[in-house]
Every structure is written in structure tokens, then in C-alpha cells.
């Protein structure tokens, strides 16, 4: 069991953040993830906000040094670069349209980057950033914040070791109802930009929600290569058009497996959040982030099994981030902190030139980020053509 | 509360059955449904089997008069017609390919018909039978055996009274794993004909499973008119091709609502059976036949509610078949017997010329049967064209 | 799988009923249980009601011969005895205070008896009836109506074969809230006598509810002998005093196992009905009659298992009453009909002198009925002495 | 929503810990709780271990200054007292038998104390410490670590505002199976002292488990005063005698309410952890720490309701610690951090002489700790006398 010991043989990374300020819920999740053990990342500098004063005030309220609360990311990168103790990693928690330019600037400033999903608007931008990251020897990680749950690695271990037989179906769902009220689009800061194509890109819920679940399916089924998608999308709140608040996707994988995704913010009243079901020729696995410590394992013709986090019968990979013991239950923030734990390990390895470790750590990397962009764009294209198959 | 009292002011209908013999699980469900109270239907004659001896033996084992166990349906109709106390209603529980001819012969013999789903192979056959039934003044009912649960009428009442707002989504699923093992196709009598296109028609699970759930969605949402479907189907057990053992369907309704169906017999290990979720602009309803006495009612932004069978807060329509009191739980056979209760009422009304009652009883009628045929054929056509939209 | 075939090589038993008329919910459950297949019991005569006219009307509404609807049980026994086709079995579905005298009269009239729980008021009455039944060569069965579920036999098989290790704890609960409203005691016919000590005996919920669950625990754990109980009871609706509407019982078994029972009708809002949990030194079993087809099997340190009715991995004893196939779900009436199926078998065996079968059929017999009386009386005595240990 | 801002207008408390080192799971929970936001507590010094070298190594592995990793608590208090930046608060995470002496020494050293449950062995020790804490003007808080979940405050608000009517029953349970294996008593460091009366006191699971759930019931029902208990306890693993690994408790409250507790570590295979059910005359509430963000609210005769964390319909008190937004789910560590958040507020208020705030913050204080001691001792006494009522 992990008890918070240092995982990297160095001082914690000095860590800055762009966006994620007072009006952002997700910013706090990044901080909680990063700062859990105080042995991997230290919150050092921030450009929280477009409003410099609000940034400074918020930073101070978090106990930060006011001088390191910057009016914008450019200033932050510039000023921090001048210091001996300047930041080494930057977290991009801005609205989507800024991800690309901030990431690019950060890499050019020699920083590792942790970027919110969806990564950028175009796969080409992803490829460009990939080249740049390689040149600079830096990591770009993507905060698919639900993907740190221990039991997802258990599922991966069971899938890759053949416990399910051949994978036939991948059923995905991230469908809630918090977008039922059109007022939210106008009143909530966190919602406003999400329904503005200029700031959010070609999709609303396909980007905001489904990329999470899609990445998690890749984490669980690393050998499944998506071939083509067919997407039908709607704006039940009409003002969101041409963006969607509901989307159905069908998937074809290269080896004959098929799948579905339902993402929605107008699934009125549903509190069950993300569901993942992997169906093999012999058995299935099911997981839901409302009870993230339990996996249902169903072998056809045998009693149904429920596997719980923290127990000895799990695969070693599912135990390595375990912190609190069996019978106790984890939540979303535990997932975020597992993720940042892995980011620290991979960034340290990268800096030390230990490519073996870089390759072996399971985390949402730049390639997964690019896959997310392709996913969104293929879905949007399919939908706009009337629900036809589009190659990913 | 209903306590088994006679609902029809006449002797019970003399009731015969074609098929549904010793190797058939569904036959027993028909008998249990029909004979529950002994006040609506009496099992009088049968042509249970292609094997006349097995038919007779089985009938005797059920306590029937051996003389009224017939070698085939034609003989049964002929002989029964000669008797003063001949059958008045016939139940068609044969493999699919016989539904049309038996129903036709039964109507011509002046019998009411209760026919297994899916009704026939072609909608045209349905229209022909409809004309014949009208001429003969007889009822043709379809045994969507799950559709008798009390709580489905509760859902209908809530949907039609606007409790959900405008209906946006209809999520349907009937996906189990009992077809994972290819051996079943060869070894099980009940399975063999289901994977033989000559006996089953253009579809396997689309006909065998999804028509149930599709009808139930019509029962719940009577005002939703299906416009077009897009279907992707697979035979994961390859020998089933060109039939499917898994199918994904997208739906478009005339008023802009959308929907999905997943039907499968290769959803390994899943015991959760049928799921129905109706999403409105304000609230949703969810139901699952593994817990048929409970409906989840989710108003966005309010506590989730669970409604239970047998309680006073339910709509009157959901209480009229209630037999066993709140806190006690019902199962599939209770649904079948509710259904046959309604069949008896509607057949008696038809015989008495009480068209008002005929119109008002909620039961799966000939039109619903025809809708089921159209559903299957549109789905199969869509899939065979590569998953394109097909008008229903 | 059972498909309704005759189990007894004779005509169905001619079956009469005392009580269970128009104001009784439980009467319908008896009828549904007895008449399911029409091959074991035929409803032939009845003394449904203290009101002779209401009895006759109700009988006719059920399709009975008016002449065999009697004004009282004495007349029924007398008149039926005169007929060649008189009743052979009688069902006692009256309020508790009549169980003893009707059972006695029935045995004296040479009838098998099926009696509602709790059997009688005093264990001595039970012993007397036992002697009488032996003399007459007749069966007295008790309608613990929940005890016919298939999965209870699965639990018994697992317990007796040692799958749980040594049994340490027996956790029982039958606690609902339908007695929260004091008005029910005055207004509901079915409730009125239940809170009248003259008609119900020394206990309300201990008799009405807990005897069910207690018998089921004996069915599951046939080798556990109860030694002593300690009971604390309350009348939260004060007018029920000295009867109780809530009771907590602690149990000591002879071999060191312990247990608890909670029975209540003032457990406001709870719809979860009966719970049974058996804890062994290695593993536990859990069952709840709101989902009667599922048993939870928890081996310490291993994945939790859910076992479902109708599947091949179950013990043969759990499959012998199975009627509707896996994936389909049963309800309370299925339990009742399983019970009557067993009653028919044991009564037929008794009549044929086949004591081997009589001994082997698992059903709630006279001894279990007497155990129920002892249970109630020991609990009441313990409570009245201030919650002290009382030998059973 | 809370986003981690500073709650106290001062620098974070310098915080030390006694015990909770490398072999302790609970120590990490304390650290995660305390250090979540880095604005309330800073881990400054530690006496983690009886082994000084292991203490130092572990502290360094957590990024601590080696010089402030002390060989024992006395040295720590002495040395820290000499520093300007010495610790201000100390956390006692040792085995039970040390709680009293460490707490006493800490208060004498002028420190606030956060102590593991159960507080001490005797209520008299509690009273002595209370006097000392008052003299010193310091807080003693108790780490009932599950009691920080937001929904417990929701339950408290509903209970105290009368939504349930008069409280009739308090059903409590903390019963798992991780003590089934006797080997754990010998092999596991964390288990060894727990079954040693010299180190753990008069009880094993009554102290280790049930005090948590008992405190939570007090938090939810602050007006219920416990009058007497009756306890039956067992050592199913015999070597644990005279301590218990299973206990059943009955409770009587002063106003006529009753209750039960089941605590066990030999409830084989059960993963469902803590259950709390509060039954009122009109409605009930139910909560389980395996799904801590959901409360079941059952009004008799109305649809069952499920309330979820993070939504506007909740009481303000249930929203004040909310950090991550509706639809996202929390776990045990979120509860711990809510608790430490409250500790910081109350300690700061105490230091500032703001007794109003001290009184209003809902947290497990010294009185609750003393109640826990009384609870354990009354249960043990009752059990040892053969399960008789004992005044608390």
C-alpha cells in the first residue's frame, strides 16, 4: 500500500497553473490532484484568470506568494524563466481554445505540460506539438481526470490477459442532465464558453464528456484500434446548435469489435455518470464512476462477480496506487491524485532520460490527447453529414 | 385490488394452443398467463407438437382430455368446430414461420387469436390478416409477455400527462448472453429454429428480443411515431450470418425525439435483461424487468424518486391489475396473467359488440404486431445497406 | 425445468378454504398458489366469510358452484363429508384465533390441512394436533408463503454442504412501515383483528411477520437449534400495547451461533421487506425477497458472487421447481405455487403410505408450525420480563 | 462551493503527529486529511514510531526535515517547545493505551490535540483531560474519520427540523469480515495490538468500529440521549477472548426511542461497511459509507427519495464543505479533509477567544470522545454480566 512516500528522488516539481481560478471547478481538482502528498508538485506560480486582480486575490487566498500570481501566462513564463526557482511544469486549465497556444508557449519555455482535455482543435496541432515536445524533451500529459481509478487498471489487466475472450463490444456512456436548463448557458461562467464554438471547438458534449470515457476505454482495451465512427447528434436546447447537447456514436474497431457511446448533458435527472461495459466472447466487465471501487465481472453461465479495490486478488497494477485500505471507498479526487502521481514519475523519468519508465507508465499522454481530437472531429463530421461512417 | 373475480359475464373462453409443447419454455408462460384465475380461459384443446404422440402425452400430463390433443392445428380447428363446446380462442406459440398461416386459419375458423411475437414476416401479411379479422369480428392479440407489468402503465400515465416535459430520448435494451455458446444453436430445440432464416425470418435477436422492448416503448409513449431507423448488426457467432446475434439501432421520431435500441444474445454474463429509459426535457423514467415493480423517476435538480407497485400514489391505471398488495413483489408470470386478463376483456367486448371497450383496453393488438414486423424489416434493411437511415 | 405437468398420479385434490374471502388479501395468494397448474388442487368448496351471503357472492364471482359456498366451516365439513366428491384438503386462512379449532375439526373430518401462520396460540395445542394428525394419517402444512422461492433451497444446500464453514450468525429482518398510520388499526378489516389480543394472541408483528423469516432461517439452516431468545418490544403506536409494532430479538443457538431478528410494521417507508443473512466462519449468504432470484455469496477475501435462479451452477434442489427459465424473474406468487406443489406431493405420498417421500419433501410442516408458536411465546415472555434470556 | 481557500486568517497551524508511521494505515489518512489544502495545517514534526531510525526514514520519505523526526513524543514536545516555529497542534495516532498520556502531555505543552478514537480507557480520564483542556484553552478533537461526509449534515438537518417526525429507531452497523482469519492477529502489526487488552482496553470491535458509527448517530440525532444499553458479545476467533470480534447492542434512549448496533470483524465477506438508518414516526433516512454521497429518504406512503451530494435542494450545512461539484463522487479521504477543515476553524477560533464559533462548529469534540468511552465500557459491562441493561 502506498502511504504518500516520495516517488521521485528529487525535490517536488515547481508547478504553475494557467486558468482554473475562482470561477473554475476543475482548477481545484487539478490542485487537489497535484498537491495531495506535497512530495511531487508544489504550487508555485499561477495565471489563474483574465482578471489580474482576481488572480492575485485568489492566489493569496490559497496561501500563494502574491508576486507569483501573474496577469497572464506569457508574463508568467517570462518571469518564472528568470528565476532560479522558476516553475518546471505548467498546468493548462483554460477554456479549450487556449490549450494549443499555452501548451506551445510552455514547451518553448522548457516546461512539462499537463493540459486539460480535449487537447486542441485539430489533430495537426497535436502532431506539431508532439514534434516540439520531442525536441524539447518534455512531457505533455492530458487530464482525463477519471482515468486514475485503481479498478480501471484491473480491467485493463483482465482484458489484456484474455479473461474476457475476444473483445466484441465496448459500451460507453457519459450522460447527465445538468445542461437541461438553458439558463445555465447564459448565467454560469463555467458553462458559457462551453457552448460557444469559437472557444470550445466543433463540439460541446462530445468534447466535454465523451473524450473522458473514450480515453478510459483505450486505457482498458489498449489493443483495440478504432476504425470508424457514425454519429447522430442533437441540440435539444436549440440555441446550442450547431453544437450538440446529446450525441449517439456507433463504433467499428479494426478487428471486428463494435461499440457505442452516449454522451449527453440533457439526460434529465440522471446521477449515474460514466458507465463502461466491455463485452468479450466469454465474459464482460462493467464499471461506473458513481461506485468506482467496484468492477462487475460476468462470465457467461457462472455466478456474477464483484471485485473490490484494495484486495489481494487484484492484479498488482491495480494495487500500486492503493492508499487507504480495503473496505474504505475512494472518490474522484483519489483518481486525480493517482494521475498526478503518475505524471510526476514520468516527468522525472523524462528529465533523467529514463525512457523505459516513460514508456511503461500508464497515463494519458500526448498520443491519447491526439486520439481525443480525432474522435471529436470524426464524430462531428459524421453527424454533420447525416450520420454516416467516417474514418478516424 | 383485484382478487381473481370474474371479469367477463360469461363462462371462461374455451382456449386452445398450437405449439408450446414439451420442448417449449414459452408455452408454459402462455398457460400460466391464461389459466391464472380459471375465470377467463380454460385449456381445452391443443396441437402442442409436430409429434402427435408427444403432444398427446404432454396434454395428458397437464390433465387434458387426450381426445382434444390433436396431431396438428388443422385437425384441431376442424374437429373443434364440430363440437358444441369447441374452442373459441387459439394461442399460436409456434416458431415464427407458422404464425401467419395458423392465424389465418384460426380467423377463418372463427376464433380469436393470441399470437407469439414477432407476428409475421411481412407487413403485407399483417394488413391482410387485419382485413380478415375485421371481417370475422375477431381479435388478434400479440404476446409481448413483458408488457403486462403494472408499472408500465404508470410510466404511460406519467408520460402522457406531461410529467417529463417533451419526450427527447427513448433508450431501449434487451441484451443478454445466453447465445454466447454456439453449441446452443445445434443442441437446443428452442434455439435451433431461431437461427434458421427459413423459420425465423430476416432477423434473430431483432425479432426475438427487440420487438418486446420496442412494443413496451410504444405502450409507454403512445404518441411517439417512429420515422426512421439506422441499424448496425453483427453475427459474433459467425455461423449465424446473415442473421445477427447483436444489433445496435438508432431511431428518429417524427417530432424530433431520438432513441436507441441494443439487442443482443452475446452480451456475455449480463443478467439484467430489459431496460427502458425515457428522457424528457424536465425529467426521466427508468425501468428494468429484473425489478419490474420499481420505476425510477428523476426530475432534473430534485431528489431522485423510486415508485413502487401497489401504492396509492400511483395512477389508477397502474393499480387496476394489482393483485398481491404493496411490499410484495411480482415476476414475469404476473405480467403474462395481466396480459391474458386484458385479452379476455377485449375478446368478450368484441363478441358483445362493445367497441368502446375494445378501443380502451391497453394491450398489444394487431397494429402493434404489424409495427413490430416493420421494425424488424426496417432494421434488417438498414443493416444490410451498411447502417443507413431507413423509413419505417 | 418444470412445465406444469401433473406431479401426482391421481386427480387433483378437491380443495376447500375457510376464510380468505373478499376482504382478505392473503386468500387470493392461497388460491393462486393452489390453482396454478390445475393439476394438484381444484377449488371445490369454501367458507370464505362470517357473512354467508358475502361468501356465496364471492364464490360465484370466482366461478364456484354457489351450493358449495358455505356459511361456516362446520357446515362445510359436514356437507362435504356427505358427498362422494367432497373436499379432501382444507385451507385455513382465518384470523389466528380460529386456526386451532378449524384445524382440529378438519382433521377429525379426515382432511389434510394447510394452515396460515402462526399456527396456534400455544405449543400444547400444537402437540395435541400433532397426535391427532398422526392418528388420522393426515398432513398439516403451514403457509409460510415466502418459503417457496427456489433460491432458499440453494442457500440450504450451500449451508449444509459446508460452503460457509461453521455457521456463526443468523441475521433476520422483516420490517416495513405499513403500520405507521394508527388509522389502519381501525379502518382496515385485515388490520383490525391483528391488533386485538383476543384474535391474534400474544403478539402482533412477532407473529405476523417474524415467524415467516424465522421459518425461512430454519429451512436454510436445518441443523441450527435455537436455545434461547432475548426480546425487546415496543408499541410505537401506543394503542397497540400490550402488543408490539416493533421488536428486536437476540438469539443463541445450541452450538454457539448467535442471531438477531428485527420485525416491525413502523419502519417508516421501507420497501425492502425480508432480509436474511447467514454468516459462516468462511463465507456468508444474503437474500432479500424484493429480489428473490438472487443470492449474494461472499467468501472472505474473494470477489463477491451473485447467484441467479435458473442457472446450471445451482444445486439440483434449487432447480426442481424452476418453471420460467433463467433471465426471467419470479415473484411472491411463484413462491406460493412452489409451496402448494410440494404440499400436493406430500399429501399424495401420505395417502399412499409413502413415508419416505413425506420425510424428504422440504416444506413447512407441523413441527415448524409448533416451532413458530414457541418462538412467538418465548419472545413475548422475554420482552414482558424486561428483555431477559428465555429458553425456547 | 469550497475551492480550497484559506479559512483561517493566519498561517497554517504547524502540525505534529505521534504514531501513524510506516506500519500504520490510519496515519496516512490523518496526513491526507490535514494537508489537503496546505492552508490549514503543515506537517512539521513527527514521532512516528517506537523505532527512531524508522521514524526518521519515514519522515524523510515524506519530504520532512530529518531533525524534526523525533524518537518519541516527549522529546518532540520538549524540542519543539524550544523553537519559535514549534508545533501548535499534535495528532495522536498511536495504539489506544497511549492516547491518554500523550494527550495529557500535549495539553501540558500547550498544544491543541487531535486524537484517534476511542479516546481513552476510562471516562474519568476524559473528565480530567477536559478540565486540563479548559485550563489551557485548547481543543481536543477526536478523529471519527467517517464523520466528515457532507450528507451526514444533511441528515442532521432533516432530523432536527422534524422531517422524520418523532425519532423511534436508530439502526447502526459496522460489520465487516477482515478479522475472519486468526492469522491476522499474529502477523499484522496493525492488528496485533488491537487484540491485546493491555493495549486496546476492554473491547476490540466495540472500540475499533462501533464508536465511529455511534458518534455518527449522535451527529445526526443530536437530541437523542442514550439511557441504557444491552450487549451480547462473542469471540468467534476464540483466542480473542475476553475481547470480542462480534457484538450486538440494544439501546434505549431517554425519550423512548430504541436502537441497535451490530459491530463485527467476522462478518465474512461483507464489503458494505457502515450503515445508519434513522426511523421516525413519519419517515426514515438511510446512509451507507460505501456510497457516502447518497441518502435514502423514505416517507411512509410516498415514493422513496434519493438525495445526492452537491445539489441545491440540500440544506446549507450540507453544502458548506462541498468541493467537487454534483455528479462527482467523494470517498473516505474527502471526509477526513472536511474534518480537518473544521478542526482548523475551531482551533483558530479557540486561540482567538471566539467561543461562539467554537460552540457552533459541528465536529467530534472531547465530550463526544467521552461518550465513546462510556459507550464501550457500558457495552462491555453489559456483555460480561450476561447481556443485561446497563446505564450509560
Please say whether the beta carbons of B382 and B229 come within 8 A: yes
Residue D189 grid coordinates: 502489526
CA distance D50 to D19: 8
Interface contact flag, C6 B63, Cβ < 8 Å = yes
Segment D305-317, tens digit of pLDDT:
999 999 999 999 9
Blockwise average pLDDT, block size 10, chain B, 392 residues: 92 97 91 93 96 96 96 98 98 96 98 97 98 98 98 98 98 98 91 92 97 98 98 97 98 98 98 95 97 98 98 97 94 97 98 98 98 98 98 96
Query: Where do the H-state alpha helices sit in chain A?
Result: 25-35, 52-61, 73-82, 99-108, 123-136, 150-160, 183-187, 189-192, 197-200, 205, 211-220, 332-352, 355-360, 366-384
Residue D224 grid coordinates: 437523542
User: Residue D281 is nearest to which of C230, C234, C268, comparing CB atoms?
Assistant: C268
Residue B224's pLDDT is what?
A: 98
- Res. A279: pLDDT tops 90: yes
CA distance D130 to D120: 12
User: Under CATH, which number does the domain A13-146+340-365 receive?
Assistant: 3.40.50.720
Interface contact flag, A4 D28, Cβ < 8 Å = yes
H or E element, residue A44: strand A41-47
Confidence bin at D265 (pLDDT 50/70/90): very high
Confidence bin at A168 (pLDDT 50/70/90): very high
Residue B169: helix, strand or coil by DSSP?
strand
- Res. D330: pLDDT tops 90: yes
Interface contact flag, C331 B333, Cβ < 8 Å = yes
Please say whether the beta carbons of B272 and B177 come within 8 A: no
CA distance C191 to chain D (A): 17
Please say whether the beta carbons of B52 and B75 come within 8 A: no
CATH domain C150-318+371-391 topology = Dihydrodipicolinate Reductase; domain 2 (3.30.360)
Interface contact flag, A330 D325, Cβ < 8 Å = no
CATH domain B149-323+370-391 topology = Dihydrodipicolinate Reductase; domain 2 (3.30.360)
CA distance C114 to D47: 72
Segment C329-357, tens digit of pLDDT:
999 999 999 999 999 999 999 999 999 99
Residue D273's pLDDT is what?
A: 84
CA distance C19 to chain D (A): 28
DSSP-derived pairing of the beta strands B167-175 and B258-264:
parallel
Interface contact flag, B266 A279, Cβ < 8 Å = yes
CB contacts of C306 in chain A (<8 Å) are 303-306
CB contacts of C271 in chain B (<8 Å) are 306, 308, 326-327
Residue A194: helix, strand or coil by DSSP?
helix
Mean pLDDT of A263-291: 97
Q: Which CATH number fits domain A150-320+371-391: 3.30.565.60, 3.30.390.30, 3.30.360.10, 3.30.300.30?
A: 3.30.360.10
User: Residue A270 is nearest to which of B266, B268, B298, comparing CB atoms?
Assistant: B298
Please state, rounded to an integer, the average pLDDT across all residues of chain C.
97
For helices B123-136 and B99-108, angle between their N-to-C axes, nearest 10 degrees: 20
The DSSP code for A12 is P
CB contacts of A230 in chain B (<8 Å) are 230, 232, 387
* Gyration radius (Cα) of chain C, Å: 21
Which residue reads 451480547 in cell numbers?
D232
Which residue reads 395512477 in cell numbers?
B315
Residue D382's pLDDT is what?
A: 98
CA distance A193 to A189: 7
CA distance C290 to chain B (A): 6
Could you give the count of Cα atoms lying within 13 Å of B326 in the half-sphere of its Cβ? Answer: 21
CA distance B287 to chain D (A): 15
CA D316, D322, D328, D330 dihedral sign is negative
Identify residues of B whose CB sits under 8 angstroms from chain D CBs.
Answer: 297, 301-308, 311-313
- Res. D25: pLDDT tops 90: no
Q: Is the preceding omega at residue B235 within 30 degrees of 0, hence cis? A: no
Question: How distant, in Å, are the alpha carbons of A155, D164, D262, D276 from that of D279?
Answer: 40, 7, 17, 10
Selected residue of D5, D209, D329 to mutate for chain A interface (largest A Cβ count, 10 A)? D329
Count the Cβ atoms, other than its own, within 10 Å of residue B14: 20
Residue A73's pLDDT is what?
A: 98
CA distance A251 to A228: 6
> What single string gives the DSSP state of each residue in C103-168?
HHHHHHTT-EEEEPSS--S-HHHHHHHHHHHHHHT--EEE--TTTT-HHHHHHHHHHHTTTT-SEE
- Res. A25: pLDDT tops 90: no
Selected residue of C14, C329, C337, C338 to mutate for chain B interface (largest B Cβ count, 10 A)? C329
Q: Which of C163, C161, C158 lies closest to C283 in space, CA to CA?
A: C163
Mean pLDDT of D61-70: 96
Q: Which residues contact B363 (CB under 8 A, 6 or more apart)?
A: B141, B339, B342, B343, B346
Residue B185 grid coordinates: 444453436
Q: Which of C1, C36, C30, C37 lies closest to C16 in space, CA to CA?
A: C30
Segment A341-380, tens digit of pLDDT:
999 999 999 999 999 999 999 999 999 999 999 999 999 9
Residue B114's pLDDT is what?
A: 98
* Closest C-chain CA to B26: C324
* Domain spanning C13-146+341-365, CATH class: alpha beta
- Res. C24: pLDDT tops 90: no
* D150-324+371-391 classified as CATH 3.30.360.10: yes
Interface pTM, i.e. ipTM: 0.96
DSSP-derived pairing of the beta strands B112-115 and B89-93:
parallel
CA distance D109 to chain C (A): 45
CA distance A388 to B298: 33
**What's the full length of chain B, in residues?**
392
Domain ranges in chain D are 13-146+341-365, 150-324+371-391
CB contacts of D284 in chain C (<8 Å) are 177, 267-270
User: Residue D268 is nearest to which of C246, C264, C279, comparing CB atoms?
Assistant: C279
Confidence bin at A157 (pLDDT 50/70/90): very high
Mean pLDDT of C320-324: 92
Mean pLDDT of D160-182: 97
Give the dihedral of Cα atoms C208, C210, C212, C217; nearest 10 deg: -170
User: What share of chain C has pLDDT > 90, as a percent?
Assistant: 96
Tell me how far apart the terminal alpha carbons of chain A are, to the nearest angstrom. 40
Segment A54-64, tens digit of pLDDT:
999 999 999 99
Q: Which residues contact A122 (CB under 8 A, 6 or more apart)?
A: A373, A377
Confidence bin at D154 (pLDDT 50/70/90): very high
Residue A208's pLDDT is what?
A: 96
CA distance C377 to D8: 62
**Cα–chain center distance at A265:** 18
Amino acid at each position: 500500500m502506498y502511504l504518500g512516500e516520495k516517488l521521485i528522488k528529487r525535490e517536488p516539481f515547481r508547478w504553475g497553473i494557467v486558468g482554473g481560478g475562482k470561477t473554475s471547478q476543475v482548477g481545484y481538482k487539478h490542485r487537489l490532484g497535484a498537491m495531495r502528498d506535497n512530495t511531487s508538485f508544489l504550487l508555485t506560480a499561477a495565471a489563474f484568470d483574465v482578471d489580474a486582480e482576481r488572480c492575485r486575490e485568489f492566489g493569496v487566498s490559497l496561501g500563494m506568494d502574491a508576486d507569483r500570481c501573474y496577469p497572464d501566462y506569457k508574463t508568467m513564463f517570462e518571469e518564472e524563466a528568470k528565476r532560479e526557482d522558476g516553475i518546471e511544469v505548467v498546468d493548462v486549465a483554460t477554456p479549450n481554445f487556449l490549450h494549443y497556444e499555452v501548451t506551445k508557449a510552455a514547451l518553448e519555455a522548457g516546461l512539462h505540460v499537463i493540459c486539460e482535455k480535449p487537447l486542441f482543435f485539430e489533430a495537426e496541432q497535436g502532431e506539431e506539438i508532439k514534434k516540439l515536445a520531442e525536441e524539447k524533451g518534455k512531457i505533455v500529459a492530458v487530464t482525463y481526470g477519471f482515468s486514475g481509478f485503481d479498478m480501471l487498471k484491473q480491467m485493463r489487466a483482465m482484458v489484456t490477459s484474455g479473461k474476457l475472450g475476444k473483445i466484441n463490444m465496448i459500451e460507453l456512456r457519459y450522460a447527465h442532465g445538468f445542461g437541461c436548463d438553458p439558463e445555465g448557458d447564459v448565467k454560469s461562467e463555467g458553462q458559457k464558453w462551453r457552448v460557444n464554438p469559437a472557444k470550445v471547438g466543433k463540439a460541446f458534449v462530445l468534447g466535454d464528456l465523451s473524450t473522458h470515457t473514450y480515453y478510459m476505454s483505450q486505457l482498458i482495451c489498449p489493443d483495440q484500434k478504432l476504425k470508424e465512427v457514425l454519429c447522430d447528434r442533437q441540440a435539444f436546447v436549440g440555441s446550442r446548435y450547431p453544437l450538440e447537447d446529446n450525441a449517439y456514436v456507433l463504433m467499428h474497431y479494426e478487428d471486428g469489435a463494435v461499440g457505442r457511446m452516449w454522451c449527453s448533458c440533457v439526460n434529465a435527472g440522471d446521477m449515474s455518470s460514466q458507465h463502461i461495459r466491455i463485452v468479450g466472447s466469454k465474459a464482460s466487465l462493467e464499471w461506473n464512476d458513481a461506485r468506482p471501487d467496484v468492477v462487475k465481472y460476468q462470465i457467461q453461465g457462472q455466478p456474477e462477480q464483484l471485485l473490490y479495490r484494495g484486495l489481494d486478488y487484484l492484479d498488482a497494477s491495480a494495487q500500486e496506487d492503493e492508499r487507504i485500505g480495503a473496505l474504505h471507498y475512494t472518490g474522484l479526487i483519489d483518481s486525480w491524485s493517482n494521475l498526478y502521481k503518475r505524471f510526476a514519475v514520468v516527468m522525472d523519468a523524462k528529465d533523467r532520460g529514463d525512457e523505459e519508465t516513460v514508456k511503461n507508465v500508464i497515463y494519458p499522454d500526448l498520443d491519447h490527447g491526439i486520439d481525443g481530437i480525432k474522435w471529436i472531429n470524426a464524430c462531428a463530421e459524421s453527424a454533420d453529414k447525416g450520420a454516416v461512417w467516417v474514418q478516424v
